[in-house]
Amino acid sequence: MAEKNSVNKPKAVVLLSGGLDSLTCLAIAQAEGYEVYALSFDYQQRHASELAAARRIVEKMRPAAHQIMAVDLRSWGGSALTSDAIDVPKNRSIDPTEVPVTYVPARNLIFLSLATAYAEVLGARDIFIGVNSVDYSGYPDCRSAFINAFAEAARLGTCACDENWRFNIHTPLQKLSKAEIIRRGIELNVDYSLSVSCYQADSEGRACGVCDSCTLRKAGFAAAGVQDPTCYRK
Amino acid sequence: MAEKNSVNKPKAVVLLSGGLDSLTCLAIAQAEGYEVYALSFDYQQRHASELAAARRIVEKMRPAAHQIMAVDLRSWGGSALTSDAIDVPKNRSIDPTEVPVTYVPARNLIFLSLATAYAEVLGARDIFIGVNSVDYSGYPDCRSAFINAFAEAARLGTCACDENWRFNIHTPLQKLSKAEIIRRGIELNVDYSLSVSCYQADSEGRACGVCDSCTLRKAGFAAAGVQDPTCYRK
């Protein structure tokens, strides 16, 4: 854990989608004493309300900086989140062994690569990402084996490889259930009304209540015994 | 080597900057029988004439498709190629053990990640990148150790990891000198007047003649005994 209240806090890049997990991750990085540089992506995702949520989170949590980077993953589609030709599934039972159509090809590989570049420019060696292999084990890029392999590629592919250190990819939510993530956030006074998880929230940030992400979020709050502050359309 | 003249040629993503190396790489992929999907990046590079060169190359070489993807690496600068605050060095003697100021943090990590996503959407398992560790060994992201680590991260971070295969990252130029690259291209009838290597070519594609990239290009043509078709301003 980094030293708290240090004048020269260590810098960390935190991937901030605007969802529940990344909000919790940011709160954890701050609680661990890092000076946080939040990084969000405008990847032409169907759920652009995520970015509005990221901005609300930044306004409240006040990281040292917030970069919103445009990467047009709609260029080639391939996911329900980046192609209008693929529908977001609703009210389905979630099979953790199956890769869902909301999987965006190589998304975390891309996002971590960009976070690595930002970290290298900042002189930061710590990167936080809110991946989780409990609820989302159907996404290959959320697994520990990938994160570890990425850290090695990042070390070798940057000037960091000339020094005696490596990038630390922090995944504090990796082994937590959604309920445990929420409880950890509540301990840190996280205001979950700031975050949007829904894959198809409307322009006012109201969640659909029926997509996989809403289903997991609702179940997580119920299991945590915490009132869900989300505004659902149904 | 993939089968030539096959109706169902295997698909390959080829990173095409518009420079001499990537042009040669594209020609090699085609000669090896791949159906080529070229991928270029508009990363707000100082040398935007690269993209014009990439378009000229595509017009002549006719790959199956050409994607130009915008990724604004100028968001955080950190390189002479993405920041106006850092000058491109000229007429310097090149030290292969030193990381030059033209190094763009984690650039190949980012480009390969995006190529991996494109390959996954296409169902392609082959990616070509014109990295070279002879002339550019100062760039950490051109080394074989990085490429191998990246291939493993890409396998684990995509749906490919559920099958019994991995992404092949082809680096046919890895161990060639600039002169050898040029000779290989000439064998394949490559028209090098299509490519631009200069870090600060003007709007008409004329090269400065004095930056590292021009220095290496000039020396390469001289060593290969091939007439340099580049239009230099000096």
Contact A117 B76 (CB under 8 A): yes
Q: CB burial class (10 A; 0-12, 13-18, 19+) of residue A187?
A: exposed
Cβ of residue A222 closer than 8 Å to a chain B Cβ? no
Distance CA A206, CA A234 (A): 9
Cβ of residue A138 closer than 8 Å to a chain B Cβ? no
Chain B nearest C-alpha distance from A172 (Å): 18
Residue written as tokens 């998880």?
A197
Cβ of residue B114 closer than 8 Å to a chain A Cβ? yes
Position B90 scores a pLDDT of 67
What residue of A is the nearest CA neighbor of B82? A121
Position B4 scores a pLDDT of 46
Cβ of residue A98 closer than 8 Å to a chain B Cβ? no
Cβ of residue B49 closer than 8 Å to a chain A Cβ? no
Position B80 scores a pLDDT of 62
Tell me which range, A32-46, B69-83, B90-104, B149-163, is most confidently predicted by mean pLDDT: A32-46
pTM of this prediction? 0.87
User: Who has greater pLDDT, B172 or B159?
Assistant: B172
Cβ of residue B231 closer than 8 Å to a chain A Cβ? no
Q: What is the pLDDT along chain A (234 residues), one digit of tens a residue?
A: 444 445 689 999 999 999 999 999 999 999 999 999 999 998 877 667 888 999 999 999 999 999 999 888 877 766 666 666 666 666 656 565 566 666 678 889 999 999 999 998 888 999 999 988 776 556 777 788 889 999 999 988 887 655 566 789 999 999 999 999 999 999 999 999 999 888 788 877 788 888 888 888 899 999 999 999 988 886
Cα within 13 Å of Cα(B215), Cβ side: 13
Confidence of residue B181 (pLDDT cuts 50, 70, 90): very high
Distance CA A18, CA A223 (A): 22
Size of the A and B interface in Cβ pairs below 8 Å: 149
Which B residues 164-193 touch A at CB under 8 Å?
A: none
Average pLDDT over residues B89-114: 74
Spatial neighbors of B147 by CB under 8 A, at least 6 apart, are B129, B131, B169, B171, B174
Asked if A128 and A29 touch (Cβ cutoff 8 Å), the reply is yes
Tell me the Cα Rg of chain B: 17
What residue of B is the nearest CA neighbor of A37? B76
Position B3 scores a pLDDT of 45
Distance CA A103, CA A107 (A): 8
Percentage of residues of chain B with pLDDT beyond 70 = 80
Tens-digit pLDDT profile for residues B49-89 = 888 999 999 999 999 999 999 888 877 766 666 666 666 66
| Structure token pair of residue A38 | 């939040």
**DSSP letter, residue B103:** P
Tens-digit pLDDT profile for residues B12-56 = 999 999 999 999 999 999 999 999 999 999 887 766 788 899 999
* Minimal Cβ distance to A69: which of B75, B146, B158: B75
| Structure token pair of residue A166 | 């490596």
Q: Using the CB atoms, write b or e for A65-94: b if 16+ within 10 Å.
A: ebbebebebbbbbbbbbbbeeeebbeeeee
Distances (CA, A) of B115 to A126, A163, B7: 25, 28, 24
Contact B72 A69 (CB under 8 A): yes
Spatial neighbors of B129 by CB under 8 A, at least 6 apart, are B14, B15, B22, B25, B108, B111, B112, B115, B147, B169, B170, B171
| Nearest CA-CA partner of A126 in A90, A151, A97 | A151
